[in-house]
Amino acid sequence: MVVSQTPTELKNAAAPSTALDSSLSAEGYAKALSGRQVTMIAMGGAIGVGLFMGAGGRLASTGPALIFSYAIAGVIAYLLMRALGELIMYRQTSGSFVSYAGEMFGKKGAYLSGWMYFINWAMTGIAELIAIGLYFQFFFPNVPVEMSAIAALLLLVGVNLLSVKAFGEFEFWASCLKVGAIVIFLAVGSFMVITNAQVGDGNASVANLFAAEGGMFPKGALVMILVLNAVIFAYNGIELVGITAGEMQDPAKEVPKAIRAVVLRIVVFYVGSVTLLAMLLPSDQYVAGTSPFVTVFGQMGLAWMGDVMNMIVITAALSSCNSGLYSIGRIFRTMANNGHAPVWLTRMSKNHVPYAAILAIGAVYLVGIMLNIWLGGSHAFDLALNSASIGVIFTWGAIFASQIALRTKKGKVSALPAPGGVWSSWVGLASLLVITILIGFDTMTSKSGEVFHLGLWTLATIPLFSLLLWLGWQKVRNNEPKSELFS
């Protein structure tokens, strides 16, 4: 049976219990994230290896048309954040979209949202830890990939177990480094284009956008649509601000500021960076598996800057994985309180950290790292990332659907209404459906010239996920929520 709550009860449930401790949220979390931390978490959460590493291979396979792919995905991300902002200002909770889906669509909505988000970050976190190991070999070639990945995992688990303040501080400085690197690149890159500076055998110029046969669309205009699933994945993590809302010192002030500012800045960073990369070098000079920023600086003869960018790529992967541990820790605890995950995942430390849930996702990451030794291969790595995009699409879809239900079922408009009301979320849902269908056409060409139908293999994981989710639902469907605060 689903616990039904009136709006008044929900408001009271979301408010901290002043009788106990006004510094704690209703769910028992410490409200310790400051304004500067929230701002940088919101801004840096979606800036990861998708840009610092993934953009190079996509430029090579798509051409300058990739600029339009990032712009289209940026519009969808904007609609998403405005829908999420409306939900957050309606009710702040660390359960975020899982709690909203549960309130709007019942137990099954919360169950599906939670486990699909887990699939997203399970795949993403494992891939990024392996990426850390691979990039660490750039500096220490004799250190095994798995050893570096495990060391990174232990560091991040330790940070998350300390306190939410430790997580926030780690993310603040990591985000400062990522954002600072992009700002410097945008400034230097723009200067080079304006001055027509030499880069490799050519010159930085707007003309590089049209250098290949076919101009900005050397692979055809359709390709920029076909890669949208990979580009959407690059924006993964933008929804993190919804989860941090339950641990903000002043969510009523910080949420609107973060929502309004983050999308514009991130789109400028992504679209601006990809545009400059396409101007600095012809797109066919970028290669998959190498950071496009490293490629540019290498062509300029600044190898030391390539080293710096490799360190930033490692930092970006650490930051993204850190966010995964944090967010899944909170979501896992919400799911356990809903009766959709083992009850021991609800345990909290004296520092108000869901340590059991964090250790659980850490164990999943460890198993994934060890499986990499057995499976190996770039195809397995890319399939994991593409499978994660299925989780991203479902999570974003749940947020859009919850905003629509908030308006249509409850007639609620919060203090931060989404522009366009429910229509903007319908546009978002339709866009995600189209992207899901187009995943099937995504291919990848190896260095040997072999064409791997990555999209078809990715879509093949959907029936597998569906079967596992159905079996799990049969097991937990009759479980009662442990607490009304999480339902």
In contact, 188 and 52? CB cutoff 8 Å: no
pLDDT at position 139 is 86
pLDDT score, position 74 = 87
The length of the chain, given as a count of residues: 487
Q: How far apart are CA 215 and CA 217, in angstroms?
A: 5
Q: What pLDDT, on the 0 to 100 scale, is given for residue 16?
A: 40
Q: What does the pLDDT average to over 361-369?
A: 89
Q: Is the dihedral of CA 464, 108, 15, 83 positive or negative?
A: positive
Q: Tell whether the model's pLDDT for residue 55 goes beyond 90.
A: no
Q: Taking residues 53-78, report their average pLDDT.
A: 85
* Residue 484 burial (CB count, 10 A): 14
State yes or no: pLDDT of 486 exceeds 90: no
pLDDT band at residue 447 using 50, 70 and 90 as cut-offs: low
User: Is the confidence at residue 324, as pLDDT, over 70?
Assistant: yes
Confidence of residue 204 (pLDDT cuts 50, 70, 90): confident
- Can you tell me the distance from the alpha carbon of 354 to that of 346, in angstroms, rounded to the nearest whole number? 7
* 198-199 vs 202-203, strand pairing mode: antiparallel
Residue 151 is predicted with a pLDDT of: 93
Q: What is Dmax (Cα atoms) for the chain? A: 70
- Mean pLDDT score, 465-485: 80
Q: Is the pLDDT of residue 392 over 90?
A: no
Quick: pLDDT tens for 66-114: 999 889 988 898 899 889 888 888 887 777 878 888 889 888 888 998 8
Percent of the chain with pLDDT over 90: 13
| Integer Cα distance of 117 and 394 in angstroms | 8
Q: What is the pLDDT of residue 399?
A: 93
- Kindly report the pTM of this predicted structure: 0.83
Per-residue pLDDT of 156-171, as tens digits, reads 999 999 888 888 888 8
Task: Tell me what the pLDDT averaged over the chain comes to.
Answer: 80
What does the pLDDT average to over 245-260? 75
pLDDT at 154 over 90: yes
| CA-wise closest residue to 430 among 404, 411, 457, 459 | 404
Contacts of 434 (CB under 8 A, 6+ apart): none
User: Please, which pLDDT band fits residue 26 given cuts at 50, 70 and 90?
Assistant: low
The number of beta carbons lying within 10 Å of the beta carbon of residue 407 is 17
Give residue 358's pLDDT.
Answer: 92
Residue 129, both tokens: 């830890």
Q: Give the residue among 244, 186, 185 at the shortest CA–CA distance from 39.
A: 244
Distance, CA of 25 to CA of 306 (rounded, Å): 44
Q: Rounded to whole angstroms, how far apart are CA atoms 56 and 288? A: 6
pLDDT of residue 423: 92
Dump pLDDT digits (tens) for 288-318.
777 888 888 888 877 777 788 888 888 888 8
The pLDDT of 361-387, averaged and rounded, is: 73
**pLDDT per residue over 217-237, tens digit each?**
888 777 788 788 778 877 877
Whether 173 shows a pLDDT value over 80: the answer reads yes
Taking 90 as the threshold, does the pLDDT of residue 425 lie above it?
yes
CB of 197 closer than 8 Å to CB of 203: yes
Residue 20 has pLDDT above 60, yes or no: no
Q: Residues 181-190: what's their mean pLDDT? A: 87
Looking at residue 415, the DSSP 8-state letter turns out to be S
Joined together, the tokens standing for residue 428 give 């978002």
